Amino acid sequence: MFSKALHSSIASWSFHDDSFTQATKDKLFLYHLSHQDIKAVTPHILVIGNVCDEDRTATKIHRQLVDLNILTKSDNHLNAAAINGTSMAKNIVLITRHKLSLLVNLLFWWEEEMMRWDGFEGRKASYAKQLEEAHPDESAEERSRKTSEAVKIITGMQRDVPSQRQEGKETSWNTTGGSRREWELREMERRVSERGVSGEEVVEDEHGLPAYEHSAVDGRE
């Protein structure tokens, strides 16, 4: 991945930091969710991320990140391509090298979080088009209802904090890996592509899932 390649380029002065815990990532993600622009990196995240102890220092470091073009001046979005270990070590002198390493880890982690976020945004944006292409004769009202249901599932997955995510994890009810919401979304997408092809009516339950498959998952006949 692009960010990991960049991270390896500064390995000579950066090191693994166990203080950047899952709990810290959860706090950072929840803090960003509370803002209108989730991508905007504000000074206070440096305090939440244990890079520094007070907002006054965080504001100064934040200003230096903007000066180094690591954060864009217009909206404070992360520009990971501008991260340079030598330049940061030279210009950001208010914190120790240990804390500087933590800052780099935080920034690269946030880059990956925003890539994940954009992926979900893309899925939401494309779902209505996929539905229309699969079922052009279906009413606009019906397509809108199905799209709304799918977007709710995708948004729920998108807003999961890091510790609650199950992407790629195997569960007792789903041996292919992933959360229940992911499974539900896959079922909805499968029905979008398959319904009308065989001419067979699919019976749905109150959740909009195929009744026979939903009952199998819940252990009901």
98-112 pLDDT, tens digit each:
999 999 999 999 999
Residue 132: its pLDDT value, please?
81
* Residues 146 and 106 occupy one common structural domain: no
Task: Tell me whether residue 120 is in a domain.
Answer: no
Cα separation, 50 vs 111, in Å, equals 18
Task: Tell me whether residue 133 is in a domain.
Answer: no
HEC profile for the chain? Answer: CHHHHHHHHCCCCCCCCCCCCHHHHHHHHHHHHCCCCCCCCCCHHHHHCCCCCCHHHHHHHHHHHHHCCCECCCCCCECHHHCCHHHHHHHCCCCCHHHHHHHHHHHHHHHHHHHHHHHHHHHHHHHHHHHHHHCCCCCHHHHHHHHHHHHHHHHHHHCCCHHHCCCCCCCCCCCCCCCHHHHHHHHHHHHHHHCCCCCCCCCECCCCCEHHHHHHHHCCC
By the 10 Å C-beta count (0-12 exposed, 13-18 middle, 19+ buried), 39 is classed as middle
Task: Tell me whether residue 117 is in a domain.
Answer: no
Q: How many domains, the chain? A: 2
* Residues 150 and 102 occupy one common structural domain: no
Residue 31: its pLDDT value, please?
97
- The candidate with the shortest Cα–Cα distance to 130, out of 179, 190, 202, is 190
Task: Tell me whether residue 127 is in a domain.
Answer: no
Task: Tell me whether residue 132 is in a domain.
Answer: no
Tens of pLDDT along the chain (221 residues)?
Answer: 444 444 444 444 444 556 789 999 999 999 999 999 999 999 999 999 999 999 999 999 999 999 999 999 999 999 999 999 889 999 999 999 999 999 999 999 999 999 999 999 999 988 888 888 877 888 888 888 888 988 999 999 999 999 998 765 544 444 445 566 666 676 766 666 665 444 444 444 444 444 433 333 343 33
* Residues 91 and 150 occupy one common structural domain: no
Residue 173: its pLDDT value, please?
42
Task: Tell me whether residue 122 is in a domain.
Answer: no
Residue 167: its pLDDT value, please?
62
Domain range spanning residue 183?
139-218
Task: Tell me whether residue 204 is in a domain.
Answer: yes
* Residues 16 and 95 occupy one common structural domain: yes
Task: Tell me whether residue 50 is in a domain.
Answer: yes
C-beta of residue 172 within 8 angstroms of C-beta of residue 180? no
- The token pair at 88 is 């940061």
* Residues 8 and 89 occupy one common structural domain: yes
* Residues 84 and 150 occupy one common structural domain: no
Cα separation, 205 vs 174, in Å, equals 19
Residue 175: its pLDDT value, please?
46
- The token pair at 120 is 């979900």
Residue 211: its pLDDT value, please?
42
* Residues 150 and 103 occupy one common structural domain: no
